[in-house]
Structure 1
Amino acid sequence: MTTRRSILQATALGAVAASSRARAAVRTVPDLEVPRGACDCHVHVFPDPARFPLFAGRTYTPPVATPADLLQLQRDLHLDRVVIVQPSVYGTDNRATLDGIRELGPQRARGLAVIDAKTTPAQMEELHQGGIRGVRVNLETAGVVDPAASAQKLKAAVEQVQARGWHVQAYTRLSIIEALKDELARMPVPLVVDHFGGARAGRGVSQPGFAALLDLVRSGKAYVKISGAYRSSDAAPDFADAAPLARALIAANPDRILWGTDWPHTNSASGKPATEISEPLPIDDGRLFNQLAKWAPDAATRRRILVDNPARLYGFA
């Protein structure tokens, strides 16, 4: 039912979306050579909330970021493929993510869903047909910092996806990775770790838990996303202190590295009430993309990161 309040909310969301697109229009043009088939492995979409309502239990409210906005990002960065990750603000309602995949098309887009014990086999099939190729287990936003509880959530996800050949992506921290290293190494499905495994750039490669992540990558037991460097670093605008982390992970095993923008740079720590719009973080995607050439100076290595690894994991033809 349309109410005055919902109209005002949609208007406000639209205004913020417009300002977001204006900022995106001045992003730096990448100066690195981008190979054909290059993939951004970590983005979100937040389409019209009148069509895709947000989860009542969310911890923040993002501004609108549509599939059309995402396509413009792809064009600006000279990318051909993308992986849309279900964000926490929708809970297990994956319709917005599926809509984003559908809008961009099967040649360009794949996705990651969020599921729970109530997700039925029929719903899993619908997700698969819609381009979903894995599930995300968000241990950070949910505040799951106990290793035993984390292990249980990951185990439940594995049991649901194993028969489909999907993978499990974990948004977690180094202390959990270190505590569960042996269990993670035995997972019967591919494991993907978000955003440098939660490592802090300023603490360097010797920080507790980073060696465990390196070992999982080196042995081929885990992929890691060198994505959202600004979430690991405070050194804006280039976040150059993330370079040692990225280089160490790439050196460990370039066949297990994925790259992503983390667009549209949601700000769940804005301090605003959950129902008020939190402006996105002001990240220059092109400028951050250029850092990849410093993390991986070799063009063949960058091709593995941008093209070959995503094609293998997400099933791009």
Structure 2
Amino acid sequence: MINRRQFAIGAASLGLGTALASRFALAKPSQPSTGVAFDMPEGACDCHVHIHGPRAAYPMYEKRSYTPEEATPSELEAMMKALGLGRVVIVTPSVYGANNASTMFGMMHFGPAARGVAVIDAETTQRELKEMAAMGIRGVRLNLSVGGVNDPDRAKRMIDTALEQISNLDWHLQLNTKPEMIEALHDFLGSLPKMIVFDHYGGAQPDGKSEPAGFGSMVDLVASGKAYAKISIKGGHRDDLSVFDPLADKLIAANSDRILWGSNWPHPNAKPPAGGTAMDLTPLFAVDDGRVINQLGVWAENPAMRQKILVDNPARLYGFA
């Protein structure tokens, strides 16, 4: 059975009404204000979102580096309906440590239309992993960036440990890292027995002038078929989304069968408020996800390409029927 570390949904549901009532007076995750400029294919999937469940039911990790506002499954559902999205992949954020209960809470809301990516640690048992697999978890995430892991040797040890834990499962390994780390780990990652998925353009932050250092290593792994890349933008509102155009073009040209799209809803701000601490509430970024997904129409002008990125590739990786 799933223990209290992984899934406290029974206890959570007992106080859900009160928790949700108080929640709506606080956080307000953004909703799209721009309509989608292309025909959304049936079964389109947002491959990178987070659920921040009611804090009374889903307490956050005591060693977290920031404290985001709440963001509920019903609010996510409203965003998805506004954009015409039919499927979703919920990723456990760093603020919960290795407790995936809030992610499971979100997945239960969407049923077969949802899959998940979990965070695990040394205390995660094989029984828990199998139970999570049965509920729709399809990968584990190592958040090297938020964890401040900049040593390639340390990263290798963490990756080896995670892969050993999931060796009996048909899961992938998702990495939140930086292009320089991907470059340092290129040969190692290319030799791994599991599929790799890179978050948020592999952490690349384009300046509109030159390609980020190390970006080519991720492109090479995508081209070889050893990795997927999420063309998902993080960091809040941007006046100019076109700075990502060269990166998206290069990744799609390298291997369009290994490209995923994600919104990063509810757009958490991973930095504590000015003068505050990690325990202080940090407002979510206000982002127009309609505008964000319309940029995909620039990166993938052909409907067949959008079908591949939004439907076919997620269905293959995450096992949607």
Using the size of structure 2 for normalisation, the TM-score is 0.90
The residue that corresponds to 2:257 in the other structure is: 255
Question: Is residue 215 of structure 2 the alignment partner of residue 210 of structure 1?
Answer: yes
Give the secondary-structure state (helix, strand or coil) at the position aligned to 1:163: coil
1:195: how far off?
A: 0.3
Q: CA RMSD in A?
A: 2.0
Using the size of structure 1 for normalisation, the TM-score is 0.91
1:16: how far off?
A: 2.5
Contact 1:10 1:49 in 2 (8 A): no
Q: Per-residue displacement from partner, 1:70-98 (whole Å, max 9, x unpaired)?
A: 11111011001000000011111111101
Runs of 5+ consecutive residues of structure 1 not aligned to the other structure? 1-8
The residue that corresponds to 2:152 in the other structure is: 147
Question: Is residue 165 of structure 2 the alignment partner of residue 160 of structure 1?
Answer: yes
1:241: how far off?
A: 0.8
Runs (4+) off by over 4 Å: 9-13
| CA 1:235–1:205: 2 relative to 1, 3 Å | farther
Partners of 1:210 and 1:314 in 2: CA distance: 25
Q: Per-residue displacement from partner, 1:103-161 (whole Å, max 9, x unpaired)?
A: 1112x100000001111111111111221010000001000011111111111111111
| CA 1:235–1:82: 2 relative to 1, 3 Å | closer
Runs of 5+ consecutive residues of structure 2 not aligned to the other structure? 1-18
Question: Is residue 94 of structure 2 the alignment partner of residue 84 of structure 1?
Answer: no
Contact 2:47 2:314 in 1 (8 A): yes
Contact 1:238 1:291 in 2 (8 A): no
The residue that corresponds to 1:264 in the other structure is: 266
Give 1:199's match in structure 2, choosing from 195, 204, 208. 204
The residue that corresponds to 1:52 in the other structure is: 58
Aligned residues between the structures:
303
The residue that corresponds to 1:15 in the other structure is: 25
Contact 1:204 1:245 in 2 (8 A): no
Partners of 1:310 and 1:175 in 2: CA distance: 26
1:237: how far off?
A: 3.0
Question: Is residue 40 of structure 2 the alignment partner of residue 30 of structure 1?
Answer: no
Question: Is residue 187 of structure 2 the alignment partner of residue 177 of structure 1?
Answer: no
Percent sequence identity over matched residues? 46
Greater fraction of residues in helix? 1
Partners of 2:209 and 2:201 in 1: CA distance: 12
**Higher alpha-carbon deviation: 194-203 or 281-290:** 194-203
The one-letter amino acid paired with 2:46 is D
1:238: how far off?
A: 4.3
The residue that corresponds to 1:5 in the other structure is: none
**Higher alpha-carbon deviation: 254-263 or 115-124:** 115-124
Give the secondary-structure state (helix, strand or coil) at the position aligned to 2:40: coil
Whose RCO is larger (CA < 8 A, sep 6+)?
Answer: 2
Question: Is residue 109 of structure 2 the alignment partner of residue 103 of structure 1?
Answer: yes
Question: Is residue 140 of structure 2 the alignment partner of residue 126 of structure 1?
Answer: no
